[in-house]
Structure 1
Amino acid sequence: MKKRLVAAAVMAAVSGIAHAQSSVTLYGIIDDGLLFSTNSKGGHLYSLSSSILQGSRWGLRGSEDLGGGLKAIFVLESGFDPNTGKLAQGGLGFGRQAFVGLAGKYGSLALGRQYDLVVDYVGILGVARQWGGIISAHPGDIDNFNNAYRVNNAIKYTSANYVGLTFGGLYSLGGLAGDLTRNQIYSFGARYTNGPLELGAGYLNARNPNVSFFGNSTSGAIATNVSNVTSPVYSGYGSANTYQVIAAGGAYTFGSATLGATYSNIRFLNLGSSYASAFAGQSVTFNSAELNFRYQLTPALLVGAAYHYTKGGDIDGQTGATYQQGQVGVDYFLSKRTDVYLIGVYQHASGNAVETNSKGVDVVVPAVAAINNLTPSSNQNQAALRVGIRHKF
C-alpha cells in the first residue's frame, strides 16, 4: 500500500514537472465602435465597425521546453468581426497567423503563415500600429506597414537580441511545379533599440504579387485577369511581375514625448506580367514619408498627431498621384486591458491613378481620396472620425 502511495506521489510530481515545461495561452483583442466618414462614393457613412485601432482576434500561443535551452513554439491566430461573428482575412480559419517552430539561444525558426520583416521592424514605427489604427495607414497600406497582407508557406528566422540588435529573414516557397521563382516572396530586416532610440529597416520582394501576396495564395492560378487589390491607390498595378518595398524608420523618446519618422519606396515592376495591361512593360514607383508624434499626458492618457505624404510616379506620360494625409488621436486607458479612443483623419489626393474599367482595360483616371479600409471618395477629399473601445484578454 505504501509503495502504491509513493509511486502515485512520484507520478504526480513528474506530471507536474512536465506540465510546468509546457504552456498554452489563450489571448485576444476585441475592438469596436462608431465610425463616420465623409464622401464615401459621394455620401456620408455612419457605421458600427470593428478592428480600427487593432484587428479583433483570438489566438493560442504555446511552447514546450525541449531541454538544453531549446523549445518548440506555435501560434494560431484568427481574426473576426464581433458585430457579425464572421471571420476576417477572407474567411480563413487562422488568417492572421499560423506557424510552428523551434526557438533557442540563437533565435527562432518557424514555418507557416507569418508576417514579413517590413511589418516586424518598420511597421511598428508607423502611426497606424501605435495609436492611429487602420484608417491612419498609408493610402491603401501600399507599403504593408499595417500588415494588410500576410505571407503563406513561409520559412522565417528571427535572431536573438544582441545588445539591442535583432534581425531576421523570410522566404516563401512559390509552390508551383517547374518554376521555383514564380510566386516566391522573400524579406529581411533589422531593428536596433538603445534607451530612448529605436531604428528599423526592412525589405520585401513578392513575385507575381497579384496571386502570391495581394491574392493571398501561392497555389492558385498562375495568372488572373482581375487585380486582387481593392484600393484605388494601386489597384491598376496588380499585373506587375514584382512588388518591392524598401523601408526604414526611427523614433526617439524624450521624457513623455516620442517623435518618429518612416520612409518607404514601393515599386511595381514590369506591368502586364500577371495579366494583360495597357501599360505592359512599364514600372511605377511610389515614395511615402511619415512624421509622427505622441505625448503621454498622464499614465492613462495619450495624445498624438501625424502627417504623411505619398507620391506616385508618372504613368504613360501622365502625372502620378499624390496623397497627403493628417491624423490626430486621443487614447484613454480605463485599465491595463481596456481603453477608449478617438481618431480623426483627413486625406487629400491629386494627380492621376490607374484603374481597370468595366471592359477590363487599365486606364488613367484622376486620383481620388481613399482613406485606408474605407469606401473611397468620389473626389479628391475625404475625412473620417472614429470613437471606439478596445479590450484585451
Structure 2
Amino acid sequence: MIKFKPIALMLALGAFYCQGAFASQVTLYGKIDEGLLVGKTRHGDATFQVKSSFTTGSRWGIKGVEDLGNGLKVGFILEQGYSVDDGAAGDPDLAFNRESALYVDGGFGRLTFGRLGTLGFAQSTGILRGAIFGVTHGASGWASGTTSLHFSRVDNAVAYKTPSFGGVTLHAMYSNGTNTDDSKNKWSKNNHYYGLGALYSSKTLSGSVIFETIDYKSLTGNTKHPLYHVTMGGWWQVGIFRPMAIYQYQWGENRYKQHAAQIGSQIKLGGGTAKLGFKYVTRKIDGTASKIEGEKKGNLWNVGAGYEYPLSKRTKVYGFAGYTDGGKGWGKGKNLTTTNLNGYQIAVGMVHDF
C-alpha cells in the first residue's frame, strides 16, 4: 500500500515554497553528517558503526520571514531530523521533530510559539555558551544524556527575547506541558518547563547565565518533584584561540545534587579548527532517588579532541577521539557498557550544508 501522508506533505511544502517565494523570504536548508564510529567499553566488545549526526544533527527544514512594515516581521521555522544511514525520521510520529516555530519580531523583541529547544539546549531559542563540543560528539558533548545536563526540546512552548541592550538580551520560556500527551491533562497534572536567561554577545566575547526547571507534575510518588538547573558559560576569542568554559549546578528533592564543568579551547590550525575539552561531573544522590550502581555518590571525567577542515564553504571533514572514565558509582560495574559512561570513541566523517 502506498503511504500518501509523506508524499502529500512534500507536495504541500513544494507548493508552499514556490508560492511563498513571491510573498516572503523562504529558504529550504539542511545538514548531512555521516561518518564512521569505533567504540569500546571497559566491559563490552569493540563496535563499528556507520554513524549519522555525530558532530551535528542531520536535518532538513524550511524557514521564512515576511516584513509587515513599521519594523514588524513574522517568521517561521519547520525542521525535521533524520538518520543518513537509513533515511529514518528522528521521530516518525512528528513531521518536524527538531523545531516547529512561529515568531513575531519587532521593536519589543521576539515572541516565539511552538516546539522549541530549551534555553540551555540548542535550536533558535537556545542561548547555551561555553560548551566546546556543543551538544553532540558523544560523551564529550555537553548534552550527554547519561549525566542529564540539559532539558532538550519542549512542546506547547512560548519564548520571549528582549531587544539587545549593549549586547545583552534577556530570555524567558514557558512550556504548558513538555510534550503533546501531557498537555492534554489538567494543568496541575502537566509537566511544565520554566526558563530564564541572559546572553551577552560581541565579536570577541559571548556568555550566558541560565536558570531552568521542569516541575514533573505528571509523575507520581517520590519522583514528583522539580529538577533545577543553573548553568553559566562563555567563550573569549583571543587571536587564533577561543578559550571556553561552562559550569552547571543541578538539584532536586529525591533526585540528586550534581556539579558539572567543562573547559577547553578551539584553535585555528592548518586551515581548519582543532578542539580540545575536558569535562568532570560529580553527583550525590538525594533521598530515595535511583542510585547508580548501588552508590550514593558518583563521578566521571571525559576528555575529547577533534579537528574540522573545510573542503568548501558548504562541506567539511572531521576527526574525533574521546575517552570517558566512570569513576566511583559510574561505569565500574559490569552492568554499565555504554561509552557515555566508561570507554572510548573514535570518529571520522563529513558534514555538508545545503
* Contact 1:118-1:201 at 8 Å conserved across structures: no
Matches within 5 A, 1:301-312: 301-312=272-283
Shift of 1:67: 1.5
* Contact 1:200-1:249 at 8 Å conserved across structures: yes
- For residue 186 of structure 1, what is the amino acid of its counterpart? Y
CA distance in 2, matches of 1:296, 1:143: 31
Which one is further off, 307-316 or 153-162? Answer: 307-316
Matches within 5 A, 1:275-294: 282-294=254-266
The question of 1:166 aligning with 2:169 is answered yes
Rg larger for? 1
CA distance in 1, matches of 2:105, 2:42: 47
Shift of 1:370: 4.0
- Correspondence for 2:140: 136
Task: Pick the aligned partner of 2:308 from 331, 340, 353.
Answer: 331
- Correspondence for 1:342: 319
- Correspondence for 2:233: 249
Identity of aligned pairs, percent?
A: 26
Normalising by structure 1, what TM-score? 0.74
- For residue 167 of structure 2, what is the amino acid of its counterpart? G
> Structure 1 pair 141/106, CA: closer, same or farther in 2 (3 Å)?
farther
* Contact 2:205-2:236 at 8 Å conserved across structures: yes
Shift of 1:352: 2.2
Over the aligned positions, Cα root-mean-square deviation in angstroms equals: 2.8
* Contact 2:30-2:59 at 8 Å conserved across structures: yes
* Contact 1:352-1:367 at 8 Å conserved across structures: no
Matches within 5 A, 1:81-100: 81-89=83-91, 91-100=93-102
* Contact 1:121-1:201 at 8 Å conserved across structures: no
Structure 2 residues not aligned, in runs of 5+: 1-19, 178-182
> Structure 1 pair 177/87, CA: closer, same or farther in 2 (3 Å)?
closer
Normalising by structure 2, what TM-score? 0.82
Structure 1 residues not aligned, in runs of 5+: 1-17, 210-221, 226-236, 271-281, 355-364
- Correspondence for 2:243: 259
> Structure 1 pair 197/287, CA: closer, same or farther in 2 (3 Å)?
same
* Contact 1:202-1:248 at 8 Å conserved across structures: yes
> Structure 1 pair 155/121, CA: closer, same or farther in 2 (3 Å)?
closer
> Structure 1 pair 41/92, CA: closer, same or farther in 2 (3 Å)?
farther
- Correspondence for 2:215: 207
Task: Pick the aligned partner of 1:383 from 335, 339, 344.
Answer: 344
* Contact 2:43-2:334 at 8 Å conserved across structures: no
The question of 1:65 aligning with 2:67 is answered yes
> Structure 1 pair 224/81, CA: closer, same or farther in 2 (3 Å)?
farther
CA distance in 1, matches of 2:219, 2:325: 34
